[in-house]
Chains A and B, each alone.
Chain A
Amino acid sequence: MNKFRRSSAVWQSRPSALWHVRRLPPALSGISRTLALALLAVSCAGESNGGPNALRIPLINDPILNPVIAPDIGSVLINKVIFSALVRPDENLRPVPDLATSWVTSEDGLQYTFNLKPGVRWHDGEPFTAADVKFTFDQIVDVKSGTRLRSDFAAIDGVDVIDSLTVRFRLKKPFAPFLALLGYNAGIIPAHKFRDLKLTDATEFNRSAPVGTGPFRVVQAASGSAIVLERNPQYHGNAPALDQVIFRIVPDVNAQVAQLLAGELDIVPIEPANLPSVERAAGVTVVRNPIVQHVYVGFNQMRPLFKPALVRHALDYAVNRQAIIDGVLKGAADLPRGTIPMVLTDFFDASLPAPTFNPESARTLLANAGWRSGNDRKLRNAAGKPFAFTLLVDKGNPTREQAALAVQQDLRQVGMDASIETLEFATLVRDRVLPGDYDAVLIWWTTPPDPDQYAYYASGQDNNHVRYVNARADSLLAAGRATLDSVQRRDLYNQFQRVEMTDPPVLVLFYPRELLAVNRRVDGLPALGLRDALRHAERLSVKR
């Protein structure tokens, strides 16, 4: 007993004598040594891709590799490289031949006959024929197929195969945007891969093994990771310069920028907020291309607040667009003159004056509409009700959120009380915008390379969610849609632009430019938005 107590006392006072302090226990030292070596080996080995003849582009999500049912922009982008269409937009956004070599339009504009390129083969070697075109468009107009393109082609009555290289479209009425839409998202899919198989059931095709006629074909698809495309040796156009195009799945734009700066990506669409980070990097250049898009604040004209055209006209003067373009967008946008984007030069009247920022005019117009500011600098009508509303904006996009804040501040200067509510995009659209349950919303339309905006701003149309009603605009838009003569069309749309000056359907904030951060080694990129540039993927190359 005594012996033990004495021993324990010894241990308590001098434990270190029994534990070798200076040396790590062997197990620990062995492990740490191995770890250190491994870390060293791993960090020194391997070089990042400086040399491969490949272009690396990011996507946010796993794409659906089928242009007819693809629901998101990422899928649309990659499908433009895999699948050719009948036509494609050139540098001026006019349709030029792709799978079709020439076409004839009937006098009444109701029939389009296309002659197809001979000798074209699908990625699996099968021959491409008019039957594939008919199959594609039959699927596109069939509501049950899962199609996402139906509204674009609602004018199609039927498609006929005249012979293996000739196909005819019959339209229900004259439809001027038809050619532009054919070159927009309507990639042609092979009939022979879908015998007895619904488009939405073709998992292998949609996920990893699509078959198209584009300059590159899919060789590998790792979920969440990357889709690897390699050159199509049988491509029907000019031989592609690149060996590979790789679409890497990177869900977050900041992670995309990080990979671009580290040399692992070549073309990244960025937000203006990323500009300072990207402009510093030596190997990166920023491209600002105008695109067919208008960003606007839509005021719900079912609400008595916004119904009078005078009020909306006043709002046009109340917002300082130039400050937003300079401050929020860092100059990567153009001042708007109506809803038709400036880049459609064939139809845009650039002689019209851009809207000026003039709060005084705004206040005058508002006073005429019955809104006066009191001592508290808030606008009130005769009944004393304040001019207050909620502005919705989609969450997660710093550019639009900042723009909304700027709009809020500008409107506060004229006495309006705008509060901002951010919502997730899907909720915003489905629960508020589509049912018309909102006051104002900051949103945008990306439109095909055609000035037709009938669906968006003609009264009673599906996409006219601001419920704009203007009889003159209706007749102009309807006529513009049905007139095939380009000179006449131009005149009609110029008149529409003028109507918009005094009775604006929406408050157009700006025409954004698409910002692309591009690795300097990339060559041959057309001066178009990325989705149209990728339709010329065979021209892209990298300097080595």
Chain B
Amino acid sequence: MTAFLLRRAAHALTVIFVVCTVTFVLVHLAPGGPAVLADPKLSSEEQAAIEERLGLDRPVVMQYGLWMARVARGDLGESFLYEVPNRRAIGERLPNTALLAGTALALSVLLGIPLGLWSAFKRGGWVDRVVSGLAFVAMAVPTFWLAIGAIFVFAIAIPVFPAGGASAAGEAGGLIDRLRHLVMPAIVLAAVTTAELLRYMRSSAQTALHQPFVRVVRGKGVQERIVAWRHVLRTALIPVITALGIQLPRLIGGAAITETVFAWPGLGRLGVQAALGRDYPLVMAITLFVSAAVVIVNLLMDLLYLWIDPRIRLEA
């Protein structure tokens, strides 16, 4: 078991290292330079001064070495655009992203898993057909279209929810206020994830349902409800957890477009603006951070597998 964990940890570190290097190469291969140098009023003297201050005039290999050394120390560099240490820039946005991603995840788990389970049990029933149909459509709807539509309908046409932001700043923005701001972005973000989770759950529950052990359990006269929740669910969850693992990067860093439309102060939006502004250190820092987060969560999910499926534990 320990050997297994150590192997996985080493694997995780390798992945992070690869991401680190590839991001650096990508960012420095990009033509042109940072947007801070793109002011039409800068004289060549001022440009040179800025380049020197930001360390852009050093040879690339040296910049790479410095970058890796910094990362090893935990220092993620300083942003060109904001003149702030990147750790601070990321740290300030992280709670917002965590809140949004967490809520969306919770919503999709709470909705997707029970509905998927039910659809599997009642295959062909009206719930199955309606829910599957909705899921199909939900997976085909572009997130930004849904977001714009939601704002149009629920913030402007019928003013129920706020049109954006994470809170009404300046007021004593209490819990209710924050919740109001959270509802629409979380639902929009959760739409696709719920649909996918639902379908995964449905198909894997169906597979599980036809395992011999289910017949045995039913034969023992166990109530259908308990068959569903305690027996089938556990087996069916494994592929679903894999699916969750694949969804996770999308929720953590890929919510950039939802965050932009809803003006949600998250990491995704920060990353996109950093990329557009060629803020090299910030781009590298965010990519590294997000991929490290995903890798760590995957590691944790491997542990979850061990707990859920005894067969894997024995194998390991």
- A–B contact at 8 Å CB threshold (below): yes
Interface residues, chain A, with chain B CB atoms under 8 Å away: 4, 7-8, 11, 15-16, 18-19, 21, 25, 27-28, 31, 35, 38-39, 41-43, 45-46, 48-49, 52, 54, 56, 61-62, 64, 69, 71, 143-144, 146-148, 150-151, 200, 203, 206-207, 220, 222-226, 228, 244, 246, 248-252, 254-255, 258-259, 261-264, 424-427, 429-431, 433-434, 443, 462-463, 465
| Contact status of A251 and B88, CB under 8 A, knowing A225-B167, A429-B40, A434-B40 | no
Q: Which of B67-75, B243-251, B262-270, B289-297 contacts A (4 or more CB under 8 A)?
A: B262-270
- Complex: A250 Cα to B156 Cα, angstroms: 17
- Complex: A233 Cα to B229 Cα, angstroms: 63
* Contact with B169, one of A21, A71, A225 (Cβ below 8 angstroms): A225
* Contact with A27, one of B40, B114, B163 (Cβ below 8 angstroms): B114
Contact yes or no, B50 A146, CB < 8 A: yes
Contact yes or no, B180 A46, CB < 8 A: yes
Q: Which residues of A contact B170 (CB under 8 A)?
A: 52, 54, 56, 220, 226, 228, 244, 246
Contact yes or no, A255 B262, CB < 8 A: yes
- Complex: A434 Cα to B41 Cα, angstroms: 9
B160 nearest CB neighbor, chain A only = A43
Q: Which residues of B contact A250 (CB under 8 A)?
A: 164-165, 263
A281 nearest CB neighbor, chain B only = B156
A-B contact pairs, 27 of them (CB 8 A): A19-B122, A19-B224, A25-B118, A25-B228, A45-B176, A45-B180, A46-B176, A46-B177, A46-B180, A48-B159, A148-B39, A150-B43, A206-B84, A224-B266, A225-B96, A244-B170, A251-B263, A254-B261, A258-B163, A261-B156, A261-B163, A262-B162, A430-B35, A430-B38, A431-B32, A462-B44, A465-B40
Q: Which residues of A contact B265 (CB under 8 A)?
A: 222-225, 249
Contact yes or no, B224 A259, CB < 8 A: no
Q: Which residues of B contact A48 (CB under 8 A)?
A: 159, 162, 168
| Contact status of A463 and B50, CB under 8 A, knowing A19-B224, A252-B260, A426-B35 | no
Contact yes or no, A463 B41, CB < 8 A: yes
A25-B229, A252-B261, A255-B261 given. 9 additional CB < 8 A pairs?
A16-B122, A43-B161, A144-B53, A220-B169, A223-B92, A224-B92, A430-B38, A443-B40, A463-B41
Q: Which residues of B contact A43 (CB under 8 A)?
A: 160-161, 180, 183
Chain A facing B: main interface SS: mixed
Q: Which of B14-22, B272-280, B302-310 contacts A (4 or more CB under 8 A)?
A: B272-280
B192 interface residue (CB < 8 Å to A): no
Q: Which residues of B contact A431 (CB under 8 A)?
A: 31-32
A42 nearest CB neighbor, chain B only = B179
Distance of A478 from chain B, by nearest CB (Å): 18
- Complex: A62 Cα to B151 Cα, angstroms: 23
Q: How large is the interface on B (under 10, 10 to 19, 20 to 34, 35 or more residues)?
A: 35 or more
Distance of A55 from chain B, by nearest CB (Å): 10
The A-B contact count (CB < 8 A) is 197
Q: Which residues of A contact B38 (CB under 8 A)?
A: 425-427, 429-430
Q: Which residues of A contact B229 (CB under 8 A)?
A: 25, 27
- Complex: A43 Cα to B33 Cα, angstroms: 46
Distance of A534 from chain B, by nearest CB (Å): 17
Contact yes or no, A248 B169, CB < 8 A: yes
Q: Which residues of B contact A62 (CB under 8 A)?
A: 82
- Complex: A224 Cα to B42 Cα, angstroms: 27
Contact yes or no, A251 B260, CB < 8 A: yes
Contact yes or no, A427 B273, CB < 8 A: no
B110 interface residue (CB < 8 Å to A): yes
Q: Which residues of A contact B180 (CB under 8 A)?
A: 42-43, 45-46
| Contact status of A248 and B263, CB under 8 A, knowing A19-B122, A146-B50, A200-B83 | yes
Q: Mark B41-63, 1 if CB is under 8 A from A, else 0.
A: 11111100110010000000000
Most buried by B among A46, A69, A427: A46
- Complex: A206 Cα to B152 Cα, angstroms: 36
Q: Which residues of A contact B238 (CB under 8 A)?
A: none
| Contact status of A226 and B169, CB under 8 A, knowing A252-B261, A255-B262, A258-B156 | yes
Contact yes or no, B165 A248, CB < 8 A: yes
Contact yes or no, A228 B36, CB < 8 A: no
* Contact with B40, one of A222, A223, A427, A433 (Cβ below 8 angstroms): A433
Q: Which residues of B contact A463 (CB under 8 A)?
A: 40-41
B42 nearest CB neighbor, chain A only = A151
Contact yes or no, B165 A264, CB < 8 A: yes
- Complex: A35 Cα to B33 Cα, angstroms: 49
Most buried by B among A31, A42, A45, A252: A42
Distance of B49 from chain A, by nearest CB (Å): 4
B219 interface residue (CB < 8 Å to A): yes
* Contact with B45, one of A45, A143, A228 (Cβ below 8 angstroms): A143
Q: Which residues of B contact A261 (CB under 8 A)?
A: 156, 163
Q: Mark B146-176, 1 if CB is under 8 A from A, else 0.
A: 0010011001100111111111111100001
Distance of B306 from chain A, by nearest CB (Å): 25
Contact yes or no, B39 A429, CB < 8 A: yes
